[in-house]
Amino acid sequence: MKTLYMNVDSTDIAKNVLFSGDPWRVETVAGYLTDPKRVAFKREFNTYTGTYKGMPVTVTSTGIGAPSAAIAMEEMYEAGMEVAVRMGTVMSLREGTLGKFIIPYASMRMEKTSATYVPEGYPAVADLDLVQCMNQTVKRMGGEYINGIGCSMDGFYSMMHDSRLSKELNIDMSVMFEKLKNIRICGVDMESSCILTLGQLMGIKACVLTIVTVLENLKDALEGEERIAAEDLLCRVALEGIYNYRYHV
């Protein structure tokens, strides 16, 4: 029986799954697969299954935010997923990190979806063997990475980037950013802590591989060809990293 939102089942999905927020980044990953098959493109969930160096792998999108990321995790788990890697972009809170990878050991749970599963004190932690494998893969492929603790939030225009409304409401984003920097949070996004929490609850291997495309409140950003190249490297590292993990290269 096909799942409700993603329209997949165990015959469609590999045990190794890459999650991308952006449905069009999925097309980039599919271009690196052998015999990619589009399983479905329903709502924000664009899903392909193929092979990478002979390893079966599925890549799918989650859309923006923790609620839809939780749906993607649930339905891929229903279909037999064993390894989950979120490959996405991140807003860094550290200077000089544009174009570098952030591979968090854990994530602070400021999104509220994971709280519908477990109490707030439950940690959102990555599988450390998978993290280490991603570290090594980034280095082998000529990239730079940092490890640390990330933070996931729900409100992009209320917590991460100024908007007309946030200014009218006198929301000062800098206050939140300073608090996070004071406790050494390295970057913020909208999905990672939910994905890591569910990975732990599901008993699967999960980690987050992100590349820095913007700095806090979008005060600096990768643009144009530089952004395209960074996201392409993200896709290649994710595939190579999950392959290395599975085959202990």
pLDDT per residue as tens digits for the range 123-138: 999 999 999 999 999 9
pLDDT surpasses 80 at 120: yes
Domain for residue 187, yes or no?
yes
Largest CA distance in the chain: 54
Q: What is the mean pLDDT of residues 105-121?
A: 97
Q: What is the mean pLDDT of residues 205-234?
A: 96
Give dist(CA 124, CA 132) in Å, integer.
Answer: 17
Q: What is the mean pLDDT of residues 2-21?
A: 97
pLDDT surpasses 70 at 223: yes
Domain CATH code at residue 57: 3.40.50.1580
Domain for residue 35, yes or no?
yes
Domain for residue 5, yes or no?
no
Which pairing describes strands 101-102 and 205-215: parallel, antiparallel, or unpaired? antiparallel
pLDDT surpasses 60 at 228: yes
Domain for residue 2, yes or no?
no
248 pLDDT band, cuts 50/70/90, is: confident
pLDDT per residue as tens digits for the range 141-159: 999 999 999 999 999 999 9
Identify which of 87, 83, 103, 78 has the alpha carbon closest to the alpha carbon of residue 205.
Answer: 83
pLDDT surpasses 80 at 95: yes
Q: Could you list the residue range(s) of the whole structural domain that residue 108 is in?
A: 16-244
Q: Provide the mean pLDDT of the chain.
A: 97
> What pTM did the predictor assign?
0.96
Distances (CA, A) of 57 to 29, 35, 50: 10, 11, 6
Domain for residue 8, yes or no?
no
Domain for residue 10, yes or no?
no
Contact in structure between 87 and 238 (CB atoms under 8 Å): yes
Domain count, the chain: 1
Distances (CA, A) of 102 to 71, 118, 245: 24, 26, 18
| HEC assignment per residue over 21-81 | CCCCHHHHHHCCCEEEEEEEEECCEEEEEEEECCEEEEEEECCCCHHHHHHHHHHHHHCCC
249 pLDDT band, cuts 50/70/90, is: low
Q: What is the mean pLDDT of residues 17-30?
A: 97
What percentage of residues in the chain have a pLDDT greater than 90? Answer: 98
Domain for residue 4, yes or no?
no
| Cα Rg of the chain, angstroms | 17
What percentage of residues in the chain have a pLDDT greater than 70? Answer: 100
Domain for residue 234, yes or no?
yes
Rounded to 5 degrees, φ, ψ at 67 are -60, -45
pLDDT surpasses 70 at 60: yes
Q: What is the mean pLDDT of residues 229-242?
A: 98
